[in-house]
């Protein structure tokens, strides 16, 4: 006789998990049916008598709860035992809903093999006995012994059922404990708004003990301005129109406002609603702080006297203040926002723009860098640019902010100041020009006298005459070079295009213009340089203006010391140039009157001078400082009163292009 095995149905949309459960039951004498959807499961249940149904809760289209509800409505299938599969027990509402739909038990994924087999065997045994009772109904009437045996077996089954019931009771206790101590607030309300079954988290959010909250009106804890939307939400939930959540503000507890996110689902034949409540106070306060920050930012955009623009990571203008829009061309935001920022930068200034970008990316901030900018109408102005990073909540750079100040007027006045100082320097040069030119003129005069003397004495010959004439031409060339260089130096050099130049040649040019003047003042001027000094990029004539200014200052300091001492001393100015640690270091050292320590920090300021009235503009060192800063360098002064002054110029070199001097 063919053995008839009991049938069980396993429903899960995950084919892998169906295979796992089937493998676990491979040694159990049972006929296993598998379905991957609720629709397929209902078809199989209509066609077969199953001893047990194992349903996964989380399935698309029709979940486990919905499938269980359909099974309960089927004729002769409403008593089919059901075990639900769930991924976790923390979903309190799922547990509640599962038992409400007639779940006999729960199993968590991954399934415990021994427990699963044990529970399946219990229900198989029940089914086996049920079928046996039905099949042997006539035999039971004939045989009392068989009846007694069956009764014993039934008693055993009852013991098994009692054990199963005990397990279910324990599971329910665990559920109640999970419900009470869940990190989410849970409570139940009826259609009148009275509260029941409040867990600890919900009670803490309401600011009262659980027992005192029973039968209280839920809406009495809602901020007055939110009562209307709360009524609308509850009406929709109880009408089963929606169960989506909304944000809610509670009445302040101990002066602190609590914000929550509320969701609801109907239970108990739609007479009650299970509510879940999550505290979102921190998130809400952060959101309000962000909105306040945005408000302050837009206020800054409107009130800042400088132009402010936000730049995206791909270099486009995201937002611009009214001042920035005015600076860049007109008052129409649409013409500015969305444009690449590089379109407002002349081609020759784009290296500076790249330097600003790289420095901002590396250091987070750039302050007060000059940049030539074009307006929409192609007119140009000089901007002083500061930039910084803007980061998101994860610390990632999301944009850049640039502050632009129009310094065209300031640059104009600085140009005028430089012109004034250059004129003063030209005056100094003019004073010494007689000495610079007289020396070669005297040499030429003596040479011509020698030629005339030789002619008169008839001792002249061709080689003698040629040598003397060459000497005359050498001195003429020297005079021409001095005049040409002074003439070039006297021109306006602000529009001179920057290029590569070597500082050794520039310093020698300066010395050639004032060497005779130094000799006239009995000052020993020396210059020493290292064998290899790199070329630098900049305006060579403005650099020479710095060197000449410092040499004139040194000469004046030495003359002042001579005047105060009223006796002779060895006057000297020593210039050295060296290259070390990727920077050129130029030192100009004199043994003049020196500078008082209280004046050291002030002498680089415009219009501040230690000279007697009428002997200085107070602009020389200030302008020199600005010129060296344009080269990326710095000037440092070290001085002792009545002993002398040392000026150190340090210029960094990015790309070394060297030239040897022997």
CA gap 226, 224 in Å, rounded: 5
| 283-312 residue pLDDT tens | 887 777 777 766 666 666 666 778 788 888
Q: Report residue 463's pLDDT band, with 50, 70 and 90 as the boundaries.
A: confident
Burial degree of 140 (CB within 10 A; 0-12, 13-18, 19+): middle
542 and 440 in one domain? yes
Asked whether the predicted pLDDT for residue 437 surpasses 60, the reply is yes
Main-chain dihedrals φ then ψ at residue 122, nearest 5 degrees: -60, -50
The pLDDT assigned to 487 comes to 59
Asked whether the predicted pLDDT for residue 34 surpasses 50, the reply is yes
526 within a domain of the structure (yes/no): yes
293 within a domain of the structure (yes/no): no
Q: Which DSSP string do the residues of 19-45 spell out, in sequence order? A: HHHHHHTTTS--EEEEESSHHHHHHHH
The pLDDT assigned to 425 comes to 53
Q: Report residue 549's pLDDT band, with 50, 70 and 90 as the boundaries.
A: confident
Asked whether the predicted pLDDT for residue 607 surpasses 70, the reply is no
368 and 315 in one domain? yes
Residue after which a domain boundary falls, among 135, 152, 180: 180
Closest CA to 274 of 412, 147, 127, 92: 92
432 and 515 in one domain? yes
91 within a domain of the structure (yes/no): yes
User: Using an 8 Å Cβ cutoff, are 121 and 28 in contact?
Assistant: yes
Asked whether the predicted pLDDT for residue 116 surpasses 90, the reply is no
Residue predicted with more confidence, 497 or 56 = 56
The pLDDT assigned to 484 comes to 61
465 and 384 in one domain? no
Q: How far is CA 642 from CA 554, 588, 594, 597, in A?
A: 13, 17, 5, 12
Residue predicted with more confidence, 334 or 9 = 9
CATH number at residue 316: 3.30.450.20
The pLDDT assigned to 514 comes to 81
277 and 141 in one domain? no
The pLDDT assigned to 608 comes to 43
User: Using an 8 Å Cβ cutoff, are 542 and 627 in contact?
Assistant: yes
426 and 378 in one domain? no
Asked whether the predicted pLDDT for residue 586 surpasses 90, the reply is yes
Residue after which a domain boundary falls, among 157, 180, 203: 180
At which residue do the structure tokens 């239970």 appear?
267
Q: What count of other Cβ atoms lies within 10 Å of the Cβ of residue 235?
A: 12
Residue predicted with more confidence, 42 or 137 = 42
The pLDDT assigned to 144 comes to 61
The pLDDT assigned to 37 comes to 92
Mean pLDDT, residues 530-544: 86
382 within a domain of the structure (yes/no): yes
Contact partners, residue 434, CB within 8 Å, separation at least 6: none
Asked whether the predicted pLDDT for residue 558 surpasses 80, the reply is yes
630 and 519 in one domain? yes
344 within a domain of the structure (yes/no): yes
618 and 563 in one domain? yes
Mean pLDDT, residues 205-226: 84
Asked whether the predicted pLDDT for residue 200 surpasses 70, the reply is yes
- Residue 201 tokens, joined: 């988290």
Asked whether the predicted pLDDT for residue 190 surpasses 60, the reply is yes
Range of the domain at 456: 412-660
Closest CA to 84 of 53, 62, 112: 53
Closest CA to 490 of 404, 556, 429: 429
Q: Give 219's DSSP letter.
A: G
User: Using an 8 Å Cβ cutoff, are 200 and 210 in contact?
Assistant: yes
Asked whether the predicted pLDDT for residue 572 surpasses 90, the reply is yes
Mean pLDDT, residues 394-405: 83
628 and 492 in one domain? yes
363 within a domain of the structure (yes/no): yes
462 and 339 in one domain? no
- Residue 98 tokens, joined: 């599962």
295 within a domain of the structure (yes/no): no
Main-chain dihedrals φ then ψ at residue 272, nearest 5 degrees: -130, 165
User: Widest CA span of the chain, in angstroms?
Assistant: 176
Q: Report residue 32's pLDDT band, with 50, 70 and 90 as the boundaries.
A: very high
- As a whole number, the mean pLDDT across the chain is 78
The pLDDT assigned to 655 comes to 65
120 and 212 in one domain? no
- Residue 163 tokens, joined: 């054990």
Burial degree of 260 (CB within 10 A; 0-12, 13-18, 19+): buried
| CA 175, chain centre distance (Å) | 45
246 and 372 in one domain? no
CATH number at residue 48: 3.40.50.2300
Share of the chain above pLDDT 90, in %: 8
| 93-108 residue pLDDT tens | 666 666 666 677 888 8
| 135-153 residue pLDDT tens | 666 565 566 666 667 667 7
Q: Report residue 528's pLDDT band, with 50, 70 and 90 as the boundaries.
A: very high
HSE (CB half, 13 Å, CA atoms) of 345?
20
Number of helices followed by number of strands (H, E) in the chain: 20, 23
Asked whether the predicted pLDDT for residue 539 surpasses 80, the reply is yes
Q: Report residue 232's pLDDT band, with 50, 70 and 90 as the boundaries.
A: confident
Residue predicted with more confidence, 64 or 468 = 64
The pLDDT assigned to 661 comes to 41
Radius of gyration of the chain from Cα atoms?
49
CA gap 266, 238 in Å, rounded: 7
Residue predicted with more confidence, 174 or 543 = 543
User: Using an 8 Å Cβ cutoff, are 411 and 382 in contact?
Assistant: yes
User: Using an 8 Å Cβ cutoff, are 195 and 272 in contact?
Assistant: no
Q: How far is CA 598 from CA 430, 590, 595, 602, 640, in A?
A: 33, 20, 8, 8, 11
The pLDDT assigned to 289 comes to 74
HSE (CB half, 13 Å, CA atoms) of 466?
3
Region of poorest pLDDT, from 7-21, 203-217, 259-273, 540-554:
259-273
The pLDDT assigned to 659 comes to 54
Residue after which a domain boundary falls, among 381, 406, 431: 406
469 within a domain of the structure (yes/no): yes
The pLDDT assigned to 296 comes to 66
Region of poorest pLDDT, from 217-231, 312-326, 607-621:
607-621
At which residue do the structure tokens 């070329």 appear?
535
User: Using an 8 Å Cβ cutoff, are 182 and 92 in contact?
Assistant: yes
Of 35-49, 129-143, 432-446, give the range with the top mean pLDDT.
Answer: 35-49
The structural domain count of the chain equals 4
The pLDDT assigned to 488 comes to 55
CATH number at residue 425: 3.30.565.10
Share of the chain above pLDDT 70, in %: 76
User: Using an 8 Å Cβ cutoff, are 585 and 579 in contact?
Assistant: yes
């Amino acid at each position: 006789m063919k053995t008839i095995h009991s049938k069980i149905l396993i429903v899960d949309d995950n084919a892998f998990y169906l295979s796992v459960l089937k493998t676990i039951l491979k040694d159990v004498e049972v006929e296993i049916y598998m379905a991957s959807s609720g629709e397929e499961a209902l078809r199989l249940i209509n066609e077969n008598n199953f001893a047990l149904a194992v349903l996964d809760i989380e399935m698309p289209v029709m979940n486990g709860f919905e499938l269980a509800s359909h099974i309960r409505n089927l004729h002769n299938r409403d008593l089919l035992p059901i075990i639900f599969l769930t991924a976790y027990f923390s979903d309190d509402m799922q547990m509640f809903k599962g038992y409400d739909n007639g779940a006999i038990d729960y199993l968590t994924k991954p399934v415990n093999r021994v427990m699963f087999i044990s529970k399946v065997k219990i229900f198989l045994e029940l089914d086996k006995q049920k079928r046996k009772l039905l099949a042997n109904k006539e035999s039971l009437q004939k045989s009392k012994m068989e009846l007694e045996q069956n009764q014993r077996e039934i008693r055993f089954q009852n013991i098994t059922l009692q054990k199963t019931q005990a397990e279910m009771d324990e599971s329910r206790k665990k559920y109640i404990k999970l419900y009470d101590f869940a990190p989410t607030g849970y409570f139940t309300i009826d259609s009148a708004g009275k509260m029941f079954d409040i867990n600890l988290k919900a009670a803490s959010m309401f600011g009262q003990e659980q027992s005192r909250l029973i039968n209280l009106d839920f809406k009495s804890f809602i901020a007055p301005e939110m009562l209307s939307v709360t009524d609308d939400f509850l009406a929709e939930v109880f009408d089963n129109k929606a169960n989506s959540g909304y944000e809610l503000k509670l009445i302040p507890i101990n002066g602190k406002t609590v914000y929550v996110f509320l969701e609801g689902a109907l239970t108990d034949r739609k007479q009650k609603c299970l509510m879940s409540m999550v505290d979102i106070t921190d998130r809400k306060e952060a959101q309000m702080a962000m909105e306040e920050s945005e408000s302050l930012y837009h206020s800054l955009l409107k009130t800042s006297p400088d132009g402010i623009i936000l730049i995206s990571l791909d270099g486009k203008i995201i937002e611009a203040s009214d001042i920035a829009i005015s600076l860049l061309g007109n008052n129409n935001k649409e013409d500015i926002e969305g444009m690449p920022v590089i379109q407002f930068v002349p081609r020759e200034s784009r290296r500076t723009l790249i330097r600003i970008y790289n420095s901002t990316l590396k250091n987070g901030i750039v302050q007060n860098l000059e940049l030539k900018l074009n307006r929409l109408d192609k007119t140009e102005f000089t901007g002083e640019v500061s930039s910084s990073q803007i980061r998101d909540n994860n610390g990632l750079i999301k944009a850049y902010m640039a502050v632009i100040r129009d310094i065209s007027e300031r640059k104009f006045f600085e140009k005028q100041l430089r012109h004034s100082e250059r004129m003063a320097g030209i005056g100094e040069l003019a004073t010494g020009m007689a000495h610079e030119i007289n020396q070669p003129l005297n040499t030429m005069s003596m040479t011509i006298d020698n030629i005339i003397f030789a002619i008169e004495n008839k001792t002249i010959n061709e080689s003698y005459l040629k040598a003397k004439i060459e000497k005359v031409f050498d001195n003429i060339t020297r005079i021409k070079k001095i005049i040409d260089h002074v003439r070039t130096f006297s021109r306006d050099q602000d529009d001179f295009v920057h290029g590569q130049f070597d500082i050794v040649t520039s310093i020698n040019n300066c010395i050639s213009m004032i060497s005779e003047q130094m000799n006239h003042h009995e000052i020993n001027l020396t210059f020493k340089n290292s064998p290899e000094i790199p070329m630098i990029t900049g305006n060579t004539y403005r650099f020479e203006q710095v060197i000449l200014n410092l040499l004139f200052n040194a000469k004046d300091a030495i003359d002042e010391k001579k005047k105060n001492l009223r006796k002779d001393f060895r006057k000297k100015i020593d210039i050295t140039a060296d290259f070390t640690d990727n920077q050129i270091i130029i030192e100009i050292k004199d043994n003049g009157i020196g500078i008082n320590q209280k004046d050291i920090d002030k002498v680089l300021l415009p219009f501040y001078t230690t000279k007697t009235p009428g002997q200085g503009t107070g602009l020389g060192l200030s302008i020199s400082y600005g010129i060296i800063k344009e080269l990326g360098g710095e000037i440092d002064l070290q001085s002792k009163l009545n002993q002398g002054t040392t000026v150190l110029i340090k210029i960094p070199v990015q790309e070394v292009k060297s030239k040897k001097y022997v």
